[in-house]
Structure 1
């Protein structure tokens, strides 16, 4: 049995768990529920001696975990499926844990078969998928055949077959008289697995009840009633009769009526007295998820907001738009392609030309004045440079021919 009394844990100015008191009885699967950040993992770590409580105490079988003789043989836990050496095989990982706890090596092969990892026992665990890692973590928890088991999100990453296997495993372990403490966020799975629930919110206890009592205390049962379509007079007569009898009638989107506060036989009698035929009269019981959401809605720390999509809303296409043609042109018409014009380099601004003072020039003979500016004689064109005479090239004798020798 696990017993916590006034359990408190603070990290500086933040209190993760405050004055938590509960008992986990053997022979039952006890679900541990709460929103993210409620303190579930911190509580489990204090149960296993990994975190020291700021106040209060928690014991397993009357002893703190650190004082249990050979604790791995009495308590098995899965808190983190990644708590393994990735370079070791699954069998080597379990064999190391077995040798540290004095567990015979044959037990390693037994638990590998229980969790379905016998065929991959020699494979390195770093190549395991998330579901295979969860199976290996469960095998490590079962290694010492303990009487107390703690599991934190054991079905995370498992396929439907694996989830069903874990569910049956938990119930079988509890049927053997063991203490099974399971934390999960899957309400549908907890509804089928757990016998008892402990719910916390913001580090404080909110509920400690059997599953059925928890649902009954945090939900309202109602009946669904449906009258023939199109018969509005009969529908209104039934609504008036149900309201006069003390029932609360709420119309639903699909046309049915939600009736609260009246049992099904009474609704049937009232419909008969109002001479109204019924197409549907069915009870509705709230699920564990609905009851859980109703209880913990005020203890949720992380809430999402509506996505405004500011500036991301696209404009609807114009009427007549069809994919493959340019808007503004008739369908099937493609505008002519414009010739490609290479980009021109940017024109750099030239600095302004500063005016210079006129340079006085000597007036040549015969020069005239025009507009008050002394005229200068025209400059004769520059003569081309002299061309050097080619050097004398000595004449080469012509090649001799055989006929010349004669």
Structure 2
């Protein structure tokens, strides 16, 4: 028997297990349940003497694990199926464990046959699949023919046939009077395997009871009632009669009625008295998964959020628009103005005005290369307007400037002084028209 009394384990400021007390009795499969991070693995490590408790104690048969005489022959455990030297064959791995514990070599071949690895006994374990590694770990736990067995996720990686084999193995070991302690996240498998449950959350005990009692205590049993689909008036009549009899009636999505507060014989009598024919009258009890989720919903540390990837493709709301970059202020995406042209003036960019990302201003007259160019200060990163000719590349540290861009019209730049007369864009310098200079 395994007994924990006031078991507590702290790692610095984090408390992994707090004041945990329970008993694992022989002759039954005891399931050990809890969300990720609830302290199950830490508890098992303390049972096996791999971690020292900060407070409290845990014993096996009345003794701490480290004080058990020839502990490997009394306690078998599977905590990490990957804890195997990959260069050793399955048989040599088990043989080394047997020699350390004084177990006869013939036992190695016996457990290899039990777990079904006799055909790959001479193959190196580094080539094993996850399921084969699990079988090898179970063989190591059974090697000493112990009376106490601990398994952490024993069906991880097994195929359906392997899961059924582990289920039958656990039941057979418990039927022989052994103590079997199994940790698992597969609720459907625990419902079929375990006789008793110990549930913890955030290091504290939540439940210590049989599977049947656990489901009844953490679920609301109800009855499903269905009337002929061709006569909807009977459904309403039955619902009213059941409510008058003291039941609580809720409609189901498939047209049936969910009734609580009345036993099945009473529901049948009410329907008979009301003259309503029934197509279905069946009891419903929550599954272990439903009961477990109800019990541990307040002790889950890691929850998923709604996938927001689709939202990344939506435009930002108006109040969340990034600030408009202003030339000369040193933003990372600063757009450098073009250099002055011959006989012209520097390009003046207003700090406020039509460059709010709502409507791109018009550069040049319609039909010109710069007409209706996209606004470089819209939501996207600034880009140079299109021009007929590509401007020479700007020096390092300054983005490329457009070759020919007329200043904005006076009505588009209220904060800048519009020139009285805007000369046409100066022609390109003569040296750029020469092929030898253009290079």
User: How does the TM-score come out when normalised to structure 2?
Assistant: 0.72
Spell out the pairing of 1:45-194 with structure 2 (5 A cutoff): 45-194=45-194
Spell out the pairing of 1:322-401 with structure 2 (5 A cutoff): 346-348=390-392
Question: How far apart, in 1, do the equivalents of 2:12 and 2:128 lie?
Answer: 38
Q: Deviations over 1:31-55 (max 9, x none)?
A: 0000111000000000000000000
Describe the shift of the 1:130–1:310 C-alpha distance in structure 2 as closer, same or farther (beyond 3 A). Answer: same
Question: How far apart, in 1, do the equivalents of 2:147 and 2:62 lie?
Answer: 14
Q: Deviations over 1:342-394 (max 9, x none)?
A: xx99453899689xxxxxxxxxxxxxxxxxxxxxxxxxxxxxxxxxxxxxxxx
Query: What's 2:244 paired with?
Result: 244
Query: What's 1:196 paired with?
Result: 196
SS in 2 for 1:311: helix
Question: How far apart, in 2, do the equivalents of 1:353 and 1:168 lie?
Answer: 92
**Which of structures 1 and 2 has the bigger CA Rg?**
1
Question: How far apart, in 2, do the equivalents of 1:311 and 1:43 lie?
Answer: 43
Q: Which moved more, 1:275-284 or 1:80-89?
A: 275-284
Using the TM superposition, give the Cα deviation of residue 203 of structure 1 relative to its aligned residue in structure 2, in angstroms. 0.3
Using the TM superposition, give the Cα deviation of residue 14 of structure 1 relative to its aligned residue in structure 2, in angstroms. 0.5
Q: Please, which runs of 5 or more residues in structure 2 have no aligned partner?
A: 315-387, 393-402, 404-426, 432-439
Q: Which moved more, 1:189-198 or 1:229-238?
A: 229-238
Question: How far apart, in 2, do the equivalents of 1:165 and 1:312 lie?
Answer: 49
Describe the shift of the 1:312–1:121 C-alpha distance in structure 2 as closer, same or farther (beyond 3 A). Answer: farther
Q: Please, which runs of 5 or more residues in structure 1 have no aligned partner?
A: 314-343, 355-406
SS in 2 for 1:182: strand
SS in 2 for 1:249: strand
The count of residues paired between Structure 1 and Structure 2 equals: 324
- CA-based RMSD of the aligned residues comes to 1.7
User: How does the TM-score come out when normalised to structure 1?
Assistant: 0.77
Question: How far apart, in 1, do the equivalents of 2:27 and 2:217 lie?
Answer: 24
Query: What's 1:235 paired with?
Result: 235
Question: How far apart, in 2, do the equivalents of 1:82 and 1:265 lie?
Answer: 55
Higher relative contact order (CA 8 A, sep 6+): 1
Question: How far apart, in 2, do the equivalents of 1:87 and 1:142 lie?
Answer: 22
Question: How far apart, in 2, do the equivalents of 1:191 and 1:75 lie?
Answer: 25
Question: How far apart, in 1, do the equivalents of 2:7 and 2:206 lie?
Answer: 14
Question: How far apart, in 2, do the equivalents of 1:97 and 1:170 lie?
Answer: 22
Question: How far apart, in 1, do the equivalents of 2:429 and 2:225 lie?
Answer: 92
Q: Which moved more, 1:304-313 or 1:293-302?
A: 304-313
